[in-house]
A and B are shown apart, each in its own frame.
Chain A
């Protein structure tokens, strides 16, 4: 069956450090992998998309890698700030336009 797994533990890091989140998947052949941010009481907000033929994508302090051989994406938040505290979800496309989401990893950045 299809499965998306993210870091099972919440991530607590010191301000200024790099947070690294993992997204592993099985039985998918995604053309894209996306990362979303979700704050408590709010809907997810799109952050980054990486295509299957791209190895790395950056946006400001965010970096995403995508390894289709390992079936894994890594999401990095560099120079983290308390405002980065949120739950981060990875999502894969399937059946053309639908998205399947991982359970998310909650990041807390301590000042």
Chain B
């Protein structure tokens, strides 16, 4: 399994500002994923970040709002830009398990709890 850390663990931000969330993995992985989990809701995939290429965004999420960097095989950042209260959520990064036990199993970080006032 992989050990994943996220920074910050939580933050309270003002409307209109931006926050960058960091995700660090203890081993090299090809695919990293960013999710949003709103209160009482399921996890929603924001984008997939592969090293050396542009992130791939899911329907309803755009690069201008959620720019992602993936400078190497152990690190990624997600920025939540021009925030509004509707962006208040938990943001989670995850990594693929490299086929064990299944090709789609993922390991998750602890999440970043964001509150926008």
List residues of A whose CB falls within 8 A of some B CB.
Answer: 4, 32, 34, 41-46, 49, 51, 89, 93, 96-104
Choose one: B4, B48, B103, B107; the contact of A46 (CB below 8 Å). Answer: B107
Find chain B residues with CB under 8 A from A93 CB. Answer: 102-104
- Contact at A41–B111, with CB atoms within 8 Å? yes
Residue interface mask B28-53, A partner, CB < 8 A = 1: 00010100000011110100100000
A98 with B42, Cβ < 8 A, contacts A41-B110, A42-B110, A43-B92 known: no
Nearest Cβ in chain B — how far from A103, in angstroms? 4
- Contact at B110–A46, with CB atoms within 8 Å? no
CA distance A45 to B101 in the complex (A): 13
* Cβ contacts A to B, 27 pairs, < 8 Å: A4-B42, A41-B110, A41-B113, A42-B110, A42-B111, A43-B4, A43-B109, A43-B110, A43-B111, A44-B92, A44-B108, A45-B108, A46-B105, A46-B106, A49-B101, A51-B102, A89-B42, A89-B43, A93-B102, A93-B103, A96-B104, A97-B96, A97-B104, A98-B33, A98-B104, A99-B104, A102-B42
- Contact at B45–A98, with CB atoms within 8 Å? yes
